[in-house]
Amino acid sequence: MQDRLKLLQKLAGLTDEEVVTLGNTGGLPSDIANRMIENVVGGMTLPLGMATNFLVNGKDYVVPMALEEPSVVAAASNAAKIARVKGGFKVTNTGPVMIGQIQTVGVPDPNGAAKKIAAKKKELLAKANEQDPMLVSLGGGAKDLNVKVIETIKGPMVIVELFVNCGDAMGANAVNTMAEAVAPMVEEISAGRVYLRIISNLADKRLVRATAVFDKEALGGEEVVEGIVYAYAFADADPYRCATHNKGIMNGVIAVALACGQDTRALEAGAHSYAARSGAYKPLTTWKENKDRDLVGTLEMPMAVGLVGGAAKVHPAAKANVKILGLKSAIELAEVMGAVGLAQNFAALRALASEGIQKGHMKLHARSLAMSAGAKGEQVDVIAEKMIAEKKIRFDRAKDLVEEISKKR
Ligand code: MEV
Within this chain, do residues 252 and 385 fall inside the same structural domain, yes or no?
Answer: no
Look at residue 122 and tell me if it is in a domain.
Answer: yes
Q: Whose CA is nearest to atom 2 of ligand 1?
A: 248
pLDDT tens string, the chain, 409 residues long: the values are 999 999 999 999 999 999 999 999 998 999 999 999 999 999 999 999 999 999 999 999 999 999 999 999 999 999 999 999 999 999 999 999 999 999 999 999 999 999 999 999 999 999 999 999 999 999 999 999 999 999 999 999 999 999 999 999 999 999 999 999 999 999 999 999 999 999 999 999 999 999 999 999 999 999 999 999 999 999 999 999 999 999 999 999 999 999 999 999 999 999 999 999 999 999 999 999 999 999 999 999 999 999 998 899 999 999 999 999 999 999 999 999 999 999 999 999 999 999 777 776 787 889 989 999 999 999 999 999 999 999 899 999 999 999 998 888 7
pLDDT at 320: 97
Q: How many domains does the chain have?
A: 4
Catalytic residue status for 361:
yes
E strand segments, 94-234? 97-105, 141-152, 155-165, 193-200, 207-214
What's residue 155's pLDDT?
Answer: 98
Q: Do 83 and 106 sit in the same domain of this protein?
A: no
Instruction: Identify which of 370, 394, 252, 299 has the alpha carbon closest to the alpha carbon of residue 90.
Output: 299
Q: Could you tell me if 72 and 214 lie in one domain?
A: yes
Q: What is the pLDDT of residue 267?
A: 98
Is 49 part of a structural domain of the chain? no
Q: Which domain holds residue 10?
A: 2-36
b/e map 348-370, b = 16+ CB within 10 Å: bbbbbbbeeeeebbbbebbbbbb
Same domain, 81 and 220: yes
Q: How far apart are CA 242 and CA 284, in angstroms?
A: 9
184 with 272, same domain? no
Q: Is residue 48 part of a domain?
A: no
Domain boundary pick from 332, 354, 376: 354
Q: In this structure, are 238 and 318 located in the same domain?
A: yes
Residue 71 CB–ligand 1 contact under 6 Å: no
Is 140 a domain residue? yes
Cα–Cα distance between 138 and 102 in angstroms, integer? 25
Q: Are 82 and 215 in contact (CB under 8 A)?
A: yes
- Looking up residue 368, the CATH number of its domain turns out to be 1.10.8
Q: Does 348 sit in the ligand 1 pocket, CB within 6 Å?
A: yes
Pair (220, 305) in one structural domain: yes
Q: Which ligand 1 atom minimizes the distance to the CA of 345?
A: 9
Contact 384, 367 (CB under 8 A): yes
Is ligand 1 within 6 A of the CB of residue 244? Answer: yes
pLDDT of residue 355: 79
CATH of the domain at 350: 3.90.770.10
- Which element (helix H / strand E) includes 59? strand 59-66
Residues 178 and 226 occupy one common structural domain:
no
In a domain, 41, yes or no: no
Regarding whether 213 and 339 lie in a shared domain, the answer is yes
What angle, rounded to 10 degrees, do the helices at 316-325 and 239-259 form?
Answer: 100
Residue 43 lies in a domain: no
Please enumerate, as own/partner, the contacts of 56-60 that have beta carbons within 8 Å and a separation of 24 or more.
Answer: 56/88, 56/89, 56/91, 56/335, 56/336, 56/339, 57/88, 57/89, 57/90, 57/91, 57/335, 58/88
Q: For residue 50, is it within any domain?
A: no
313-340 pLDDT per residue, tens: 999 999 999 999 999 999 999 999 999 9
CATH for 155: 3.30.70.420
Distances (CA, A) of 377 to 116, 152, 374, 380, 381: 70, 59, 10, 6, 8
121 and 263 housed in the same domain: no
Does the C-beta of 245 come closer than 6 Å to ligand 1?
yes
Does residue 321 sit within a domain? yes
Distance CA 127, CA 147 (A): 16
Burial 199-211 (b: 16+ CB within 10 A, else e): bbbbbbbbbbbbb
Do 82 and 188 fall into the same domain?
A: no
Q: Does ligand 1 come within 6 angstroms of the Cβ of 206?
A: no
Q: Measuring CA to CA, which residue among 281, 277, 295 is closest to residue 343? A: 295
Q: Which of 69, 238, 242, 244 to mutate to test the pocket of ligand 1 (most atoms within 8 A of CB)?
A: 244
For the question of residue 381 being annotated catalytic, the response is: no
pLDDT the model gives residue 278: 98
Q: Which of 200, 234, 265 is the last residue of a domain?
A: 200
Q: Tell me, yes or no, whether 103 and 116 share the same domain.
A: yes
CA of residue 247 to ligand 1 center, whole Å: 6
| End-to-end C-alpha distance for the chain, whole angstroms | 40
Cα separation, 57 vs 229, whole angstroms: 25
Which mutation among 68, 229, 251 tests ligand 1's pocket best, with the greatest number of atoms within 8 A of CB? 251
Please work out whether the CB of residue 357 comes within 6 Å of at least one atom of ligand 1. Answer: yes
What pLDDT, on a 0 to 100 scale, did the predictor assign at position 407?
A: 87
| Per-residue pLDDT tens digits for 76-87 | 999 999 999 999
Q: Which of 361, 363, 365, 386 is catalytic?
A: 361
Catalytic member of 18, 69, 215, 381:
69
